[in-house]
């Protein structure tokens, strides 16, 4: 059978697998069996699925496949971070990053080929935008990382997943939410909702929908404490200004079953957003929002217009926030020697058209 007619089972949720097997005249429990084989055991072949009948395994081999993105290149960092360049079916490339730490391992997952937003301090934004990733291309990154990091599947290496790679996750809403549901599913990866984090620049309507659809941790790519500055650094702020974003964060927290906080991401740009006045504005902005702040030293890239704040400035900014009662840390830069640090992911993107057109089309899809 031709490859074009083969169904990629990584592109199906458990419910989707149920419909697939129902179309084959198979009982519903087959979906759970195969779902577990794919996501818990990391199977990429049907002949290893020992609790599935031989006839069905042969049939699946004819009409289905388990296919994740292809590894083109792996780059290890001196600090243990690993970055992979992954090729998609259409030849586009994305990047994913694994960051090992004491007691945990974090996988940074991409959601789009490029990014439709135009944050001025981000290397991904300079690449333009091509398309959203499919479900198989998103959850396939975790599936692939588990196989690469623990080939014998004797231990779970990835304990945390952050949707902080290439792209704005909330502009690929349906596929990102379904991928996160699979990551949380006990029949799949069984991640804790506190160990699965989505980072957004502030697509407010989608953020409200997110709170209704799935319970995960939230990070806000803020980077400025006032609208005029954020308009320049994070242009989506012109449509959804800070006041709207903070109100959406409050609504998100109100929907959560357990007490939680929003993580505020704030990249430190020398002479741009790192003064004591900026710190005081940020303190006032976050006064009523349960939050913690991650200060991110700016990671440079070719053609960048900014410099990283000095260590003294970062420390002073951190100390002011901390003294006000805001839990604040300075994020340790990881993988900088392989361009795997925050804001440095680039991949290989065929920029298809003007960003504004894509952003509007993606918003229209969210509204439908």
pLDDT value of position 269 = 97
Which pairs from 173-177 meet CB under 8 Å and 24+ separation? 173/206, 173/209, 173/210, 173/365, 173/366, 175/111, 175/132, 175/133, 175/134, 175/135, 175/138, 176/111, 176/138, 177/210, 177/213, 177/214
Q: Examine the pLDDT at 341 and tell me if it is beyond 50.
A: no
pLDDT tens digits for 174-231? 999 999 999 999 999 999 999 999 999 999 999 999 999 999 999 999 999 999 999 9
Is the distance from CB of 309 to CB of 298 less than 8 angstroms? yes
- Output the domain CATH number for residue 13: 1.10.150.530
User: DSSP 3-state assignment of 238?
Assistant: helix
Q: Do 50 and 93 belong to one domain? A: no
Q: Do 12 and 104 belong to one domain? A: no
pLDDT value of position 156 = 82
Q: Do 190 and 261 belong to one domain? A: yes
**Confidence grade of residue 345 (pLDDT, cut at 50, 70, 90):** very low
- Of residues 127, 94, 87, the one with CA closest to residue 112: 94
Q: How many degrees, rounded to 5, is the angle at CA 18 between CA 17 and CA 23? A: 95
Q: Do 233 and 111 belong to one domain? A: yes
pLDDT value of position 127 = 76
Q: Do 172 and 157 belong to one domain? A: yes
Q: Do 59 and 133 belong to one domain? A: no
- Chosen domain end from 30, 65, 100: 65
pLDDT tens digits for 7-16? 999 999 999 9
- Output the domain CATH number for residue 301: 3.20.20.70
Q: Do 76 and 169 belong to one domain? A: yes
Phi and psi at residue 108, to the nearest 5°: -100, 115
- Chosen domain end from 65, 81, 112: 65
Which residues are annotated as catalytic? 95, 342
Q: Do 292 and 213 belong to one domain? A: yes
pLDDT value of position 343 = 45
Q: Do 10 and 124 belong to one domain? A: no
**Confidence grade of residue 339 (pLDDT, cut at 50, 70, 90):** low
Q: What is the domain range of residue 137?
A: 70-367
Q: Which residues pair with 197 in a beta bridge?
A: 162, 217
Q: Do 58 and 110 belong to one domain? A: no
Q: Do 273 and 362 belong to one domain? A: yes
Q: Do 59 and 179 belong to one domain? A: no
Q: How many domains does the chain have?
A: 2
User: DSSP 3-state assignment of 130?
Assistant: strand
- Chosen domain end from 28, 50, 65: 65
């Amino acid at each position: 059978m031709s490859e074009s007619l083969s169904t990629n089972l990584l592109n199906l949720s458990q419910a989707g697998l149920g419909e697939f097997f129902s179309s084959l005249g198979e009982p519903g429990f087959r979906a759970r069996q195969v779902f577990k084989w794919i996501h818990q055991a990391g199977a990429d072949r049907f002949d290893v699925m020992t609790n599935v009948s031989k006839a069905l395994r042969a049939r699946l081999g004819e009409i289905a496949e388990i296919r994740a993105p292809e590894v083109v290149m792996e780059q290890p960092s001196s600090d243990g971070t690993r970055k992979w360049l992954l090729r998609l079916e259409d030849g586009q490339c994305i990047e994913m990053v694994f960051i090992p730490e004491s007691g945990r391992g974090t996988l940074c997952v991409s959601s789009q080929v490029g990014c439709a937003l135009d944050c001025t301090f981000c290397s991904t934004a300079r690449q333009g935008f091509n398309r959203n990733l499919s479900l198989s291309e998103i959850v396939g990154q975790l599936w692939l990382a588990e196989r690469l990091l623990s080939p014998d599947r004797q231990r779970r290496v990835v304990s945390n997943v952050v949707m902080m790679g290439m792209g704005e996750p909330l502009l690929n809403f349906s596929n990102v939410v379904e991928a996160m549901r699979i990551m949380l599913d006990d029949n799949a990866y069984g991640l804790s909702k506190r160990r699965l984090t989505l980072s957004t620049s502030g697509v407010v309507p989608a953020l409200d929908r997110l709170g209704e659809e799935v319970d995960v941790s939230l990070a806000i790519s803020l980077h400025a404490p006032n609208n005029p500055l954020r308009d320049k650094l994070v242009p989506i702020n012109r449509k959804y200004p800070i006041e709207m974003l903070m109100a959406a964060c409050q609504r998100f927290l109100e929907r959560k079953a357990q007490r939680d906080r929003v993580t505020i991401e704030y990249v430190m740009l020398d002479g741009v957003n790192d003064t004591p006045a900026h710190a005081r504005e940020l303190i006032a902005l976050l006064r009523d929002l349960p939050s913690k702040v991650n200060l991110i030293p700016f990671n440079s890239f070719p053609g960048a217009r900014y410099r990283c704040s000095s260590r003294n400035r970062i420390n002073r900014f951190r100390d002011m926030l901390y003294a006000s009662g805001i839990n604040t840390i300075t994020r340790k830069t990881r993988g900088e020697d392989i361009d795997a640090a925050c804001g440095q992911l680039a991949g290989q993107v065929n920029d298809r058209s003007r960003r504004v057109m894509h952003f509007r089309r993606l918003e229209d899809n969210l509204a439908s």
